Amino acid sequence: MTWRPTQAAAGAAAVGLSALAVGVFFGRADVALLGVPLVLGAVLGRLGLPVGRTSAAFDGGGPSAVPGEIAETLRLTAAAGSDVVHLRVFAPGHRPADVVVPGQGERELPLRLSSVRTGPQTTFRADVRGYGPLGASAEDPQRLGAPDRLVLPEASRLGRVPLPSRLRGLTGPRTSRRLGDGSELRDVHPLGPGDRLRRVDWRATARRSPTLDTLYVRRTFATAEAGAVLVLDSRDDVGPDLRTWRGSEPLRVDEPTSLDLARHAAASVATALVDAGDRVGLEDLARRRRPLTPATGKRHLRRILHALALTAPVGTPARRVRPPQVPTDAIVYLFTTLLDDAPLTLVEAWAEQGVPVVVIDTLPDVHPVPERHLTLAWRITAMERADRVRALTARGVPVVRWAGSERDRAAARFEVMVRAAERHRPVAGARR
């Protein structure tokens, strides 16, 4: 049986019958009249039972269209003859929300949820229950679960980010140090083999060779593009609470973990590079699957964001014998928590190959805990991390913190690094 009498209706009928019995027994018409509406309401409610059952369903799952937001649509079709439909919607880490809608026809209820967590996320659950006329009957409650959603990381505006000293390709958005077609003037030179006639500078020719014995051409620097490889260390995913590092307690949904920060930082760097027209690739240290080769364009950026959202620790990662292969003229952005010596080994291997590296520290700010043994363990871990940061700095590898208030200053840190690289770059007009 789908529709059953409610406790309120049964209580109202019992009170009404009691009032009628008391009024008749003591000859009090006023008391008897008080019980008539209650009894009639219960009887009419039972006579007008709704037909069928309320149907409700969530739309199919898929990646979230807006980074950092989970959106769902609950489609509701009330049973014929029902008065209202009561909904109670649950979301992880949030208080349940109660909604009452009229029980007429079909309705679409949009649900929105902001999330600081990224990757596969559990979204909404809903309890649906219809009520008949006068609340005398109610159907058996239904529990619905929305499919898990893939929340894409949201990118921050960084402006300029560090680039490799050597550019690649025959075309691109940046000016290289070699001769070729471009917009930046290199010099004015006598016409020689390989020079095009459309490059002839007639004013310079008239000024330097009035008899036109020698033609002078304007030579420019060629354009090229920068290459970058994002290396994500997804071997562990830790939160700000040290008690969750043991794996026995769940991570909170309102606090970003180290992998959430790594996804956000990688998405921000990738967006800045792709918007500038550079090529970006992606490598995951925890998985040996095929990496994303460097490419450019908005479509490739969407592939990177989707791949970042799918990164997650999988069992015990195997130890890498050699670092991921990257192009010799690319820069590496390493996103890691620096909780072990594996990142230092990778950076040393890349340094021997002449590959520039920028390390992004993605460990969240750790909250103090009352347990003394956890506090002591964190002090030892923090000192080991400080030693690794000093070792990287001594090697000339910049380390950028990406947690708490330091994340807001990451763009300024990148700008300082870019200006420092420009000061040490060869002068554009320098000749051999």
**Confidence label for 132 from pLDDT (cuts 50, 70 and 90):** confident
User: Mean pLDDT throughout 137-149?
Assistant: 85
What is the radius of gyration, based on Cα positions, of the chain?
A: 34
Torsion of CA 206, 209, 211, 213, to 10 degrees: -120
User: Mean pLDDT throughout 245-256?
Assistant: 80
| Residue 340 belongs to some domain of the structure | yes
State the CATH number of the domain containing residue 61: 2.60.40
User: Mean pLDDT throughout 395-409?
Assistant: 88
pLDDT tens for residues 146-198? 888 888 898 888 888 888 877 665 555 555 565 555 566 666 767 777 777 67
pLDDT for position 358: 94
Nearest CA to 284 out of 251, 300, 262 is that of 262
pLDDT tens for residues 40-72? 666 666 666 777 788 888 876 555 556 667 888
On whether both 231 and 342 belong to a single domain, the answer is yes
Among 192, 223, 254, identify where a domain stops: 223
**Confidence label for 203 from pLDDT (cuts 50, 70 and 90):** confident
Residue type for position 1 = M
User: Mean pLDDT throughout 24-48?
Assistant: 71
Res 1 pLDDT > 70: no
On whether both 184 and 128 belong to a single domain, the answer is no
On whether both 147 and 182 belong to a single domain, the answer is no
| Residue 168 belongs to some domain of the structure | no
Res 130 pLDDT > 70: yes
pLDDT for position 381: 92
**Confidence label for 432 from pLDDT (cuts 50, 70 and 90):** very low
pLDDT tens for residues 290-348? 788 888 889 999 999 999 998 888 777 667 777 788 887 889 999 999 999 888 999 99
| Residue 38 belongs to some domain of the structure | yes
Mean pLDDT of the chain: 81
pLDDT for position 185: 65
Rounded to 5°, angle at Cα 273 from 280 and 292: 15
pLDDT for position 180: 55
| Residue 135 belongs to some domain of the structure | yes
pLDDT for position 220: 66
State the CATH number of the domain containing residue 293: 3.40.50
| Residue 368 belongs to some domain of the structure | yes
CB neighbours of 50 closer than 8 A, spacing ≥ 6? 3, 79, 80, 81, 82, 103, 130, 132, 137, 139
| Residue 428 belongs to some domain of the structure | no
Q: What is the largest CA-CA distance in the chain?
A: 135
CA-to-CA separations, 271 to 39, 146, 161, in angstroms, rounded: 68, 30, 11
Look up tokens 């409650």; give the residue: 141
Please state the domain count of the chain.
Answer: 4
The boundaries of the domain holding residue 183 are 178-223
Q: Between these two residues, 330 and 427, which has the higher pLDDT value? A: 330
On whether both 248 and 203 belong to a single domain, the answer is no
d(CA 140, CA 130): 8
Lowest mean pLDDT among 12-16, 266-270, 311-315: 12-16
Question: How distant is the alpha carbon of residue 292 from its chain centre?
Answer: 18
**What is the rounded end-to-end Cα distance, in angstroms, of the chain?**
92
On whether both 69 and 139 belong to a single domain, the answer is yes
Among 188, 223, 258, identify where a domain stops: 223
pLDDT for position 259: 93
On whether both 234 and 364 belong to a single domain, the answer is yes
On whether both 391 and 248 belong to a single domain, the answer is yes
On whether both 286 and 217 belong to a single domain, the answer is no
Res 363 pLDDT > 90: yes
Res 266 pLDDT > 90: yes
Nearest CA to 270 out of 229, 210, 233, 234 is that of 229
On whether both 276 and 239 belong to a single domain, the answer is yes
Res 391 pLDDT > 50: yes
**Confidence label for 392 from pLDDT (cuts 50, 70 and 90):** very high
On whether both 74 and 31 belong to a single domain, the answer is no
On whether both 214 and 255 belong to a single domain, the answer is no
| Residue 169 belongs to some domain of the structure | no
On whether both 240 and 209 belong to a single domain, the answer is no
| Residue 163 belongs to some domain of the structure | no
pLDDT for position 430: 43
Lowest mean pLDDT among 25-29, 122-126, 317-321, 342-346: 317-321
